[in-house]
Structure 1
Amino acid sequence: MKRMMILLALLMAAIVVFSGPVAEVLNLPEPTAEAKKKKKRYNVVKCPNQTYDNYTCKGTAGKDRLVGGPADRSPYGAHDQMYGKEGNDVYQGGNGRDIFTDESITSSDRYVFPSTEFSFDSTSSFTYAWVRDWGGSADVLDLASYRYDDFDRRNWLGQDLYLEGPEARDILIEDFFTSNTIDYFKFSDRTVTAAEIKREFSGG
């Protein structure tokens, strides 16, 4: 019995040692939960972050979460022009008719829209949020605060997809019908693929 208790104590001590700094030195694998947490970690980029104007926001080469500015910002309100790069980025706009441009042709990005109105800007004649995604295989337009039927879908000039939502909740997806842009549309009641949207207009 005494020997069993000694062995148990030694085992517990070994667990403590190898889960601490020594584990880092030996490059041992981290616990699964911690590894997943680090894998999902984003650089938080608060917009705007450029000194030459009050609306431009540029991300890094890594995984960014670009967050739109406050509604009371002067003179453009919450209007932001966000630019992402190679990382799998998350764009979290506000209520000021934001323009999202992801310049990577390989990254899979997420564009998150709030439940409040987001496409009104008193300083501009444009009345829609604008998504410009240059490529990737799993880009998501996240409208989880809405149902699929909350938006009417239009083919604009044979190349852009226009989503017309309730009140000031309109979105333009540039070159949707001619290039690889958004791949999935997430709503509260269903997720729709780009192919399904395109079939609505092709009669297929």
Structure 2
Amino acid sequence: MKRVILSIAVFSLMAACNKEAKVDETVDTTTSDSVVIDNAPVGEGSIATFQKVEWSPEETSKMLGKQNNDTLYVTNFFATWCGPCVKEIPHFKAKMAEMKGQPVKFTFVSLDERSEWDKALPKFVAEHGLAPHVVVLDGSKLTPEFFPANFKKWDGGAIPFTLMRKGDKTDETLGSMSEEMLTEKLNSFK
């Protein structure tokens, strides 16, 4: 019961304190993959190419679940106002470029307030070249059951949080990752 109350309180605080933009990845929800990677080099996103895609909690759970293929799914939950989240973006972008053409899908799930989705978020996504990899999730719609149903470690109390999944194997990381740590975790799925 305490975890439920804590999760609700944390998301309420995040929503109340969110005055800066948050980072999101756009996902093509018409495919079974979590992200469609375009041919534009990483870092060349623009406001014009950012197409806001909102995931419901149910869609998020589906995308986080086991997929029956050989793709590695890397899903990062973050916000544009979160310093540790922003700090690790260059590491993810470097790995996205390095792993281009391999069966890996990077998705950044923004937990920004809805009021930022059409204002600061598009600018932030363009500045960081993440347009084709950002989706938005309204944290106020997440129930306490969402977290234990989808994660072993994360209770929604802090970000950044990264889930990596390939088949039955998963890795969960709470907190910002260094480039070395990210490389090590990605290599563990080879």
Structure 2 length normalisation: TM-score? 0.26
More strand by share: 1
Whose radius of gyration is greater, 1 or 2? Answer: 1
Larger RCO, structures 1/2 (Cα 8 Å, 6+ apart): 2
**Which structure's residues are more often helix, by fraction?**
2
